Structure 1
């Protein structure tokens, strides 16, 4: 067995499962209805595919080396996460003045497309992901091995882990939907996710340049 590959899989699994903006958006959309949660999960995996492809191609190094580009991505990502957070807070407030307990009645096709886009942009605009992948992947390329095939394999592992974890989270939330969609619980989750996303967005927008 390839000990380095096993070690990388463990590290990558922990990285993917670590709660953050991706996790929050998946849970929030899965709370609305299952297809939205799964679509968001697939969007997150698509964002990870972009980051890993950039790292494999070496383009992430350019982003990290040019402060203006890095800061631009940071601002865009922060603004988008902030937008999602404010939207979630508004939705939580609206729940207090409307009937609740039901699921969203938005047409599934349009809602799933929007959820897919949200998941993709939340991950793809994460400014720290290129730095993480650029620093992580080379650590698991054995000496003497061609780097491209190995980094491609590592990238595939990350995306596959995301394709397992995030849809599983969405399905679990849907499975627990009867309890999670109770008015008081739904408001708490909506408000909590909105507060978390808003705080993260503010940190990304106002925080110092990070390398």
Structure 2
């Protein structure tokens, strides 16, 4: 393995492991069940696979060239994350916890939540578009190398997010106690709500600066 590939793996691992909406959604679903947590983790990896495919295909360049489309995707992503956060916080006002409420939903909903949360993040393909070329050695064909780098990102996600889900599930006996479950739901709900608001404000503020 060459030095650039090792360096890229380290950078990509840091990007994947960085706490954010993906991490919070996986933790939230892992509190429902191991199956839901792993399904959510696979959904996140699926979203990353979509982003890497789009970056390789050059769609990310279109997003970079059309600010209105980029802002629209930002707003959609922020609105979805905010929806998940508010929905989690609303569960605190009911007698049943989020764990009890969703225990029978199977894997489809958490899989969809993980995928949509990641897929609606327009910064991901832009990041890939700007990052991947930095690790393509001069003189090498760009497409095979870029595909390899993209697969490394997806592979890291397939290791990290299921590991997070399994760890949360292992701690589930304590985390699913009513008091602990409410605390975790409050923390994850607040985190998702704040992330959603931030994601919504960023494009709105950018639009305001652009029109000023």
Q: Same fold (TM over 0.5)?
A: yes
Q: Does 1:124 align with 2:132?
A: no
Q: Does 1:196 align with 2:162?
A: no
Q: Does 1:114 align with 2:78?
A: no
Give the match's secondary structure for 2:106: helix
Per the TM alignment, residue 128 of structure 1 is displaced from its structure 2 partner at its CA by 1.3
Alignment of 1:1-211 (within 5 A): 1-94=1-94, 97-98=95-96, 106-107=103-104, 110-207=105-202, 208-209=205-206
Once the two structures are superposed, residues 169-205 of structure 1 have per-residue CA deviations (whole angstroms, 9 ceiling, x without a partner) of 0011001111111111111111111111111111111
* CA spacing shift, 1:125–1:101, aligned 2, 3 Å: closer
TM-score computed with the length of structure 1 as normaliser: 0.92
Tell me which residue corresponds to 2:210.
Answer: none
Q: Aligned equivalents of 2:99 and 2:62: distance in 1?
A: 47
Give the match's secondary structure for 2:19: coil
* CA spacing shift, 1:209–1:146, aligned 2, 3 Å: farther
Per the TM alignment, residue 92 of structure 1 is displaced from its structure 2 partner at its CA by 2.6
Per the TM alignment, residue 64 of structure 1 is displaced from its structure 2 partner at its CA by 1.2
2:44–2:115 CA contact under 8 A, matched in 1: yes
TM-score computed with the length of structure 2 as normaliser: 0.92
Q: Aligned equivalents of 1:132 and 1:43: distance in 2?
A: 19
